[in-house]
Amino acid sequence: MSSRRWARKWAHDVVTDGFSPLPTQVVSNEEYLPLDQTPEQRQVAALLAETARRNARRLGVSRREFMSSSAGMASAFLALNTVFGPFFEVAPVEALEAAAADERKPPDQFVFDIQTHHVAAPRQFSQLLGLRRTGRRWNPALDHDRGTMEDLYLENYIKEVFLDSDTTVAVLSGIPSVTDSSNILPPDKMAETRDIVNRLAASQRLVAHGLVTPNKGPGDLDEMRRQAANLKISAWKGYTGLPFGNPPKPWRVDDEKVAYPMLEASRRLGIKNICLHKGLPLQGGVEEFWHPRDIEKAASDFPDLNFIVYHAAFHSLRPLLEAARDEFKTSAQVNWVTDLCEIRRRKPQLTNIYAELGSTFGQMVITSPMLCGHVLGMLIQSLGADHVLWGTDSIWWGSPQWQIEALRRFTMPEALIKRFGYTPLTPDVKAQILGLAAARVYGIDPNRQRNPMPADYVSKLKAAYREQGPRPSLTQYGWVLDHC
């Protein structure tokens, strides 16, 4: 009988030679417990491994070189189709000819990823966000595992996001803490990274969040003014379920005493975007405060502010897998995405509510494409494609390229179109989700970024990197459940 333990995803890949163009099990950044590898995911991994061995031998390259190519990425989607059904647009020839796979890419597509992360060097956070401590109960080896913090620092962040993916512009986000010294990436460091990347690029490639914690008390309003004046941040990120203050308490964005002074200050400071972590309940938080129910009143009372619901308020995978296998014939409810969508259905005038897909899309598309289609269809039907915003939660998931490719190739299941009236995922719909919708929210010109000037050093570095031969890491930097 095997027992489960926490394992670093990259270390697991080294031991098992499990490097893959896309993950074949859910990866966690330690904010939430990752789902164990499902039987279907084990089938996908086995099929992909066999295809890689066979095609690499046929092409005269190493397995790792094959997996790093566009043909390797296409092989992963073929494996997903074999196990789950025809959810992804991919032809068998693409698994042998990288040029055929490359031809499928839309030219100069604007991709705006509004949720990315890294750790400020030389800070050491071997217990990112606390779940590793929980993992030690069944994996004592974690006490001695030093890991590779360099994988989470700026240099690798630039490589993963801007060299190994088609991301045009990204938002760098963070998570609040009691003090800056205990924060993985405090606001000043987020702004510093933004300035470094944009200076290297000689163009705008990165946007920075500020952090709001109104439950810390009135002093947080001063901190907001400081961030707005000194750091020139473009949006606020808040975590309603995290308890701060004396005594520590979570908060609601519709709390007129706690949150409304923050929203009024944001309005005065000219910062319109309020980004809130909802769903995916964090360890150490209070579960009910991760629910999006508080969005409705706040969005009604502050129609000039945008409320961006991160993770689309998706609660968790495990309870939904059986319903997805049944194609949602018995129950169509998806906690708490359905609740978010019902807000907009009740009040269609609340066009200032948006849903972001970070970690939610990544988990669903590799675990249950049927569930992925249901959630995307529900969000588009209720909010509109122009209110569904692209985010990947990278670099916890490694390079965002596999997620970009997954959405580009993903098709709406015919069964869901018939049952719920969902619309097909056309190229125009995907273009909205991948970047054009968020560009409007953040006031960014997608045409300018789509064709960067020659002075854009990041693009030059990307071209030089490609000429030398791409070597994506093919791994992710979060945690998985292993068996020992």
Domains in the chain, start-ordered, CATH in brackets?
4-106+463-483 (no CATH), 112-457 (3.20.20.140)
Q: Are strands 306-310 and 273-277 parallel, antiparallel or unpaired?
A: parallel
Task: Name 426's Cβ contacts closer than 8 Å, sequence gap at least 6.
Answer: none
Which ranges of 424-467 does DSSP label H, i.e. alpha helix?
427-431, 437-442, 446-450, 457-467
Give the pLDDT confidence score for residue 450 in this predicted structure. Answer: 47
Give the pLDDT confidence score for residue 433 in this predicted structure. Answer: 98
Give the pLDDT confidence score for residue 1 in this predicted structure. Answer: 40
Q: Is 391 helix (H, G, I), strand (E, B) or coil?
A: coil
Give the pLDDT confidence score for residue 107 in this predicted structure. Answer: 86
Give the pLDDT confidence score for residue 427 in this predicted structure. Answer: 97
Q: What angle do CA 68, 71, 73 make, to 5 degrees?
A: 65
Specify whether the CB–CB gap between 131 and 33 falls below 8 A.
yes
Q: pTM to 2 decimals?
A: 0.85
Please state, in angstroms and rounded to a whole number, the distance separating the CA atoms of residues 288 and 241. Answer: 8
Give the pLDDT confidence score for residue 64 in this predicted structure. Answer: 85
| pLDDT mean values, one per 10 residues, the chain (484 residues) | 44 46 63 71 90 91 88 92 96 92 90 94 56 32 46 84 91 93 92 88 92 97 98 98 96 98 98 98 93 98 98 95 95 97 98 97 94 98 98 86 96 97 98 98 85 44 52 50 48
CB atoms within 10 A of CB 232: 13
Please choose, from the candidates 211, 207, 212, 181, the residue with its C-alpha nearest in 3D space to the C-alpha of residue 195. 207
Task: Name 69's Cβ contacts closer than 8 Å, sequence gap at least 6.
Answer: 61, 98, 101
Burial pattern 90-129, b for ≥16 Cβ within 10 A else e, equals beeebbbbbebbeeeeeeebbbbbbbbbbbbeebebeebb
